[in-house]
Structure 1
Amino acid sequence: MIKHFKELDYTNKEYGGKTNGLLLLKSLGFIVPDFYVIGNNVVQSIIKTPYILEDIAHFWIHTVDSEKLWAIRSSANEEDGTQYSYAGLFSTEINIHTSQVVDAIKSLIDKYRNVEFDAYGTMKKEGFSIIIQEMISPDYSGVIFSKNILDSNAKHGIINIIPGLGEYLVSGKKQACSGHFSTNTITWINSQHVYDGVKYTNGKHDISVSFTNLTKDIKPHETTLIQGALKLEKEIGMPVDIEFCISNNTINWLQVRPITTKNSSDSQIVYDNSNIGENYPGICMPLTTSFVQFTYSKAYAEVITYLGMNKKNMVKNEHIIQNLVTVIDGALYYNLTSWQQILYQLPFGKITSKLYPVLLGMESAEFPKPKAKPNIIVYLKLLYRLIASLVFFKRIKKSYEDNYNQVFHDYLGKRFEGYTHDELSQTYHTVIIRFSKNWIAPLLNGFYTMIFFSLLKKIFKNSRLATSHPNFINDILFSQGDIVSVKLVRELQNLFYEIHDSKELLEYFKTNEADFILKNIGVDFPKCHETISNYISNYGVRCDSGELKMEIENYQENPLKFIQFIKNNIQGFSEKSNTNFSIDYKSILNTKYKYNVFKKCILTVLITITLRRIKDRENYRFVRSQTFSIIRFIFRAIDVQLLADNLICEKGDSLYLKYNELVDTTIAKDYKEIIAQRKKDILYYKQHTKHANRYFYSYGKFLPAEKSAANKSLKTITGTGCCSGIITGKVIIVTPETISKVPVKDAIIIAEYFEPGWINLFAQAKGLVSEKGNILSHTAILCREMGITSIIGAKNITSIVSNGMIVQINGSTGEIHIIKQNNE
């Protein structure tokens, strides 16, 4: 039978953890929405004899309001316990009309019966009950943690609140307003302008509440919420996690459970910026972060759909795809867990999901297996489409390139002067639609690169080549030819040679200011002016730092920056005698596998495919820079128009808007208020935030991963060699802040990472060492093509060495030997 809560015995464990939590709340005088329970014994009877559910429910339906809405929730002994908290293990059905309750109960029982394991790996089918609780249509929903147990030094609790229904807070689909408390007051720690949510009133409706109004509405309830959390913690005897909602100015307490002890082996959501930080270093403006998040989710949704993921699985994976990139205190991070979960569902996913972090130059990471996983039919379809797309990749590539070339022809370099805000917004949507017609080629190419390169390394490791040619994998990556990034550097070198070949021209750049040179060089040195103009026309979508950020001006947008770049580097430039290295891998294979034709053919084909994919991968990076440049020009034009219309206060204010806000003319009147708040947020991040390379997310909080302490007594540090050679030289450590200020000529340059725009270093450096990166990274490819001895992935190198030290680096073995300390 279905029992009202007043009929239940609090000590009876049959009703599960969630029910016991609700009964505790009731017994302590908290306001709890009315609820009924179907006990475990009855549920087991329904499972054995399904038709009795109709009889049991029939009587109950006639005792309640037929127009009410209900939430149907599981309550198992394995949920909300003191050792484990299997929250949401069986799901919750919300906004269920009385007439639909029977179907909702059936659905919940079916999910219970189908569960074979859970995220903790220890499913125990016992004590499963069902709660039927009166549905509240909340103005706000929230979660309180009475203690921040993830930080042993913290003495405060945490609160997260969202407008409307709580399911969007628990799932993470909407951004919550967060705060912490220690006494009777909440201190809010993130204050974006508007918080979105969903309210249920005759159907679901999107709602938005400003930070000001949200905190104003919560203020009268702060003391009650805090004191309630502390009271429950004292009653249970350990920190608690509480769900609540506020409706018609009344707090409803929905759930209380102990915060379970976290084992070091538990899976966590991992965020890492080791790779994405090279393209988007440091704090980024909201226009950049929002557009990057949009492009990643849209592009990867397109390619997964193309490969054959059906609509059902796409819906299940929607949250994962939309969270491939995350913003933490203004900086961009890959949600590494989401990437791994998506890869896990694709062909070869068990391998690629594990290898993915390492291939991007990150530390490895465990991840919870995704709940959504294609069945065998969908998997076979994905495998077939993946193989077919590889076979016909030339056709896919041509379609992609034809489309992009046409878009570039129509828009690249266009300034969009004289357009209205509405016209610019429409232009933006048109360009995005045209670009999105074919996102497939670069993304498939990246996936192929990962698969084939990993397979090649695995075969090589177990081959006779590993002994005779230990650097074979690295060596074959040389001289791929026809790479835009290499052409770019070569032409820059040629420009510097041209300037150095003329004493008069060299003196001209040394003695005059950049603005004077830009204005007069066309008359004074027309040939050099033509060279500079051609370089900017061909490669000016790049710049010296952060070229993909919307807030950064590239050389096409601001040629003065390029003239200044030349001035900063021309004096330290000298012609290098680097000799391009190449390897005849086919001859080596013919020698080693003279009598094993099959193995030789396999390796030859694998190497050929891998090299093609790597070359395309690098060229597609430049295409991305071109794409972002077009979008940047549209955004710049909108900024000009908004300033002219007095919708923003000063030039560049639009960078504080998100991309969807910027192209939404209906909210233009609110721009100044949004921008003012975001300026405060960005200023706070710049002044108070020191970003970690990796974060773990748990219990609503980003926790920086501890970096292993650098052993400064080491005499030898090891990374991954990416260009052969043994050289000795003086250390110069560079950062984005010092890149244009330190003398790098003939030094061994060491950095945490090298940005794509730091190409001048490659023309001057004696050798390069990077703390981050992998042998397929932009830095590694350029070093190989230019014959610069280099090492990547040298962990903690920037903490171990210092400016002025003498080191020897071996680009084959990846070893860095400290020859002389500063004090020696």
Structure 2
Amino acid sequence: MILDYVDCSNYKKYKIGTKATRLFRMKELGINVPDLICVLKDKTINLSILEKFNVKKYAIRSSGNLEDNNNTSFAGQFTTYLNVAKNDVNNKIHQCFMDSNLENVRDYLKEKNISKNALNMNVIIQKQINSDVSGVCFTANPKGILNEIVIVVGRGLGNNVVEDKIDVTTYYYNKSDGKCYYEKTKDSPELDEVHLNKIVETALRLEKEFKFYQDIEFAIENSEVYFLQSRNITTLDMNKEKIVLDNSNIVESYPGISLPLTQSFAKEVYYKIFKQVLIRITSNDKSVKDYETMLQNMVTSVNGRMYYQISNFYDFLNFLPFHKKIISVWQESLGIKDKKITRNHKIGFRIHSKVVRNFFKLLKNNIKEMDGLLKFIEDFLPIAWNRVDKENSVDVLMNIYDELMKEIILKWDLTLVNDMYAFLYVKFVKNKNLISKINNLESLKPALLIKNIKTEADKKKYINLYGDRILEELKLETKTYRTNPELLDQHIEHYKDIEVNNPKNDINIKNAIERRAIAGIKYREASRLYRARIYGVARALFLKIGTEFCKMGYVRNQRDIFYLTIDEIRNAKNYIDLIDSRKEEYENYKDLKCFSRLEFLGEIININPRTKNSNNRYSKTLYGIGTSEGIAEGEILIIEANTNVDTVGKIIVTKTTDPGWIFLISKANGIIAEKGSILSHTAIISRELGKPAIVGVDDATEILKNGQRVRIDAKRGIIECLN
């Protein structure tokens, strides 16, 4: 029996299966899909219909009513016939209809507990694409990375790719950053930027159209990209918890790779601090125990890099009154670009009523509480240092560590209250230039005092005060002036001509909001100096344990201790093989892109890279967030780590900075950073030094080149490439 064909004009009238229906819909959307028609169950066609295709060869494949559905993909179960001659089309149509009798199909139906009678077969006839390159694109990594597109490409027809018959190149594209890296195998092809962008753009469009993560097939013939299929990814269990990670702000404290000891220490510190805040604002409500998992996962690491588990931060902030407004202020203050809010917990009314009362009480008493905290730490730290210096026993040193966590970290939650205090009041300050009038900031003192070092006694005094204040100071593996005094000798010589613009006196500020904003910032900067000193104690303590482990034969050398977690240190044993393995693993991590945001389903996944490469977009004009006044011009100097380079007259370009950068910024004409916010260290220090600064410039270290001349307008946040 002959049936008029089903095409774009009438496909909505027939039940032709998800595959065919979507292909027709894609054609309607203007997506480049090869011409097709669909034949209904057990029918044939008049071959003259095929003349409209104006080709000699056809692709024949199934479109079952149960195929490509959310829970039943039938991927690879039915037969696809390629390069079919016109006179063989009806024969291949018949064979496609018979696929329902295949043993593998019967097994699939049985596995899915589906009756064979429920399966109805339809057949797609499509223009054959003789692809030079073909591939598959998943708009979410099927391992469970939701904001990572995975593209696999190989030479020739697509069946060779999906059946693993040829060498392929795999691209991993981060949706949030628009960055990717790829892994090659032997003679596998590479996509040029035009084709890669076309595939990504269309894939995201299809994901939006079909309202779910897509599994897409494509082919490239004579530089033209064709899309052959789009179906939902069926292996993603959306009932699992969505884990959202973001490195905004935390990347300033932990730039680049952080070793396991730093990771476990940071995770424990965040857990204890945020738990103490929750206890404080809920009056130790018994329900706090229900949020233990959330509190244990405020921060985490992926591929050796530190991230906020941002969904848990939103859950935490949800405790606070006016949390929607506070979250907005918090996002702006930390420079979070993706404002989408994800939550996994709901807060009861009873707890909220307690929190409202306690929260405003804490804000009211913030200045008094911060004064008391800083005085306590000032008195406590010399005692802690004295004990660490005198002790060599691993057990006793770990007892000192536990006391440090108990005595200081459990009081450190007050600094979070102060951060919120500063964020809120800075938000309402109309004249942001007032912030640059603050004098005597702790972040400036190291630069002011280093010029006064003349004798060994001066050096010893400086190290005692600021020996822990250096680039990447929160990473325990970082070498500091205290652990390596020769670093200070280098800086004394290199920065002896530094000129630091420090306001002599605070201006007379009568506005209460402005006074409180300035107070919050001062306490914030002071607390960060004390935090560096606390971390300095922990660093010295673990280095001592490293020395003892080395004597015991547990590690090869003292600094191997940084490749162990705190729990592993407690369970002391021979870790040499484990450390050797981790060193190789973490060396590989250095070659991976650092993505600002990662979204996982169910669990966090680390990547073990093989061959890596990058693909980035370029522009002659770049934009960021201007954090200070001024226009500057100069040659680019890209700095990736703390180094004794000459920055005079240069425009520093970096991924991120922290207080240790003050020595570099002071002699430069200006600074550009990929990360930052109005309260970031980059912003605060550059304002105090009177240096034009622009932060939040995506991919600046990749787009800009050493020696390139640029002009930066820090007020407008614009960077012009002059050559």
TM tier, smaller: 0.5 to 0.7
Relative contact order (alpha carbons < 8 A, sep ≥ 6): 1 or 2 greater? 2
CA distance in 2, matches of 1:151, 1:640: 45
Q: Which secondary structure state, in structure 2, belongs to the residue aligned with residue 808 of structure 1?
A: strand
TM-score for both structures, normalised by structure 1? 0.56
Alpha-carbon shift at residue 771 of structure 1 (Å):
2.2
The alignment's C-alpha RMSD in Å is 3.6
DSSP 3-state at the match of 1:652: helix
In the alignment, which residue of structure 2 is the partner of 1:729? 634
Judging changes above 3 Å, is the alpha-carbon distance between structure 1 residues 422 and 584 closer, same or farther for their aligned structure 2 residues? Answer: closer
**TM superposition score normalised by structure 2:** 0.64
The equivalent residue for 1:776 is 679
How far residue 83 of structure 1 moved from its aligned partner, in angstroms, is: 5.1
Q: Answer yes or no: is the 8 Å Cα contact 1:341–1:353 preserved in 2.
A: no
Change (3 A) 1:413 1:747: farther
Alignment partners' CA distance in 2, 1:321 and 1:781: 30
Name 2:393's counterpart in structure 1. 420
For the residue of structure 2 that corresponds to 1:727, the secondary structure is: strand
Could you tell me which residue of structure 2 aligns to residue 396 of structure 1?
369
Q: List alignment gaps of at least 5 residues for structure 2.
A: 1-67, 73-140, 154-161, 165-213, 216-232, 608-612
2:539 to 623, 626, 632: 632
Query: Does 2:603 correspond to 1:690?
Result: no
Q: Assess if the C-alpha contact under 8 Å between 2:241 and 2:602 holds in 1.
A: no
Q: For 2:559, which of 604, 629, 652 is the aligned residue?
A: 652
Describe the SS at the equivalent of 2:478: coil
Aligned to 2:302: 328
Q: Deviations over 1:72-128 (max 9, x none)?
A: xxxxxxxxx96599xxxxxxxxxxxxxxxxxxxxxxxxxxxxxxxxxxxxxxxxxxx
Q: In the alignment, does 2:654 pair up with 1:763? A: no
Residue 550 of structure 1 corresponds to which residue in structure 2?
A: 476
Which of 812, 816, 823 is the aligned partner of 2:719?
A: 816
**Paired residue for 2:404?**
431
| In structure 2, C-alpha distance between the alignment counterparts of 1:577 and 1:645, rounded to whole Å | 48
SS in 2 for 1:303: helix
CA shift at 1:429, angstroms?
Answer: 1.5
- Where 1:757 maps in the other structure, the secondary structure is helix
Match of 2:439 in 1: 481
Which residue of structure 2 aligns with residue 744 of structure 1?
647
Q: 1:258 to 1:782 in 2, by over 3 A?
A: closer
CA deviation map 1:111-160 (0-9, x unaligned):
xxxxxxxxxxxxxxxxxxxxxxxxxxxxxxxxx979999654369xxxxx
CA distance in 1, matches of 2:522, 2:392: 39
Deviation of residue 488 (structure 1)? Answer: 1.4
Counterpart secondary structure, 1:292:
helix
Q: Which runs of 5+ in 1 are unaligned?
A: 1-80, 86-143, 156-180, 184-237, 240-256, 461-471, 496-526, 587-600
Aligned counterparts of 1:452 and 1:786: Cα–Cα separation in 2: 23
Distance 1:579 1:320, change over 3 A: closer
CA contact (8 A) 1:404 1:435 kept: yes
Q: Secondary structure at the match of 1:153?
A: strand
- Counterpart of 1:793, as a letter, is G
Aligned-pair CA distance for 1:580:
5.1
Task: Note if contact 1:753-1:773 (Cα within 8 Å) is conserved in structure 2.
Answer: yes
Post-superposition shift, 1:288?
0.7
User: Following the alignment from structure 1 to structure 2, what is the Cα–Cα distance between the partners of residues 145 and 816?
Assistant: 38
What corresponds to 1:11 in structure 2? none
The separation in 2 between residues aligned to 1:787 and 1:277, in whole angstroms, is: 24
3-state SS of paired residue (1:327): strand
Query: How far did residue 282 of structure 1 move?
Result: 1.6
The separation in 2 between residues aligned to 1:417 and 1:678, in whole angstroms, is 31
1:531 matched to 2:435? The reply is: no
Which structure 2 residues correspond to residues 642-721 of structure 1 after superposition, within 5 A? 642-662=549-569, 664=570, 667-686=571-590, 689-698=592-601, 700=603, 702=605, 710-714=617-621, 717-721=622-626
Alignment of 1:294-443 (within 5 A): 294-308=268-282, 311-375=285-349, 377-412=350-385, 415-443=388-416
Q: Does the CA-based 8 Å contact 1:269-1:335 persist in structure 2? A: yes
Conservation of the 8 A alpha-carbon contact between 1:476 and 1:585? no
Structure 1 residues 490 and 414, CA, compared in 2 at 3 Å: closer, same or farther? farther
Shift of 1:776: 0.9
User: Would the alpha carbon gap of residues 638 and 267 (structure 1) be closer, same or farther in structure 2, given more than 3 Å must change?
Assistant: closer
- Change in 2 beyond 3 A, CA 1:145/1:274: closer
Assess if the C-alpha contact under 8 Å between 1:276 and 1:332 holds in 2: yes
In structure 2, the CA distance between the partners of 1:701 and 1:431, relative to structure 1 (3 Å rule), is: closer
Q: Report the CA distance shift for 1:260/1:438 in structure 2 as closer, same or farther (over 3 A).
A: closer
Q: Tell me the CA shift for residue 633 of structure 1.
A: 1.4
Q: Is the 8 A contact 1:731 1:804 kept in 2?
A: yes
TM-superposed deviation, 1:808: 2.5
SS at match of 1:807: strand
Report the identity percentage.
25
Instruction: Report if aligned partners of 1:493, 1:763 keep a CA contact under 8 Å in 2.
Output: no
Distance 1:641 1:395, change over 3 A: same
CA deviation profile, 1:748-773 (whole Å, cap 9, x unmatched): 22222123212211221122222211
| Offset from partner CA, 1:595-640 (integer Å, 9 cap, x none) | xxxxxx8xx2221111110111111111110001111111111111
SS in 2 for 1:317: helix
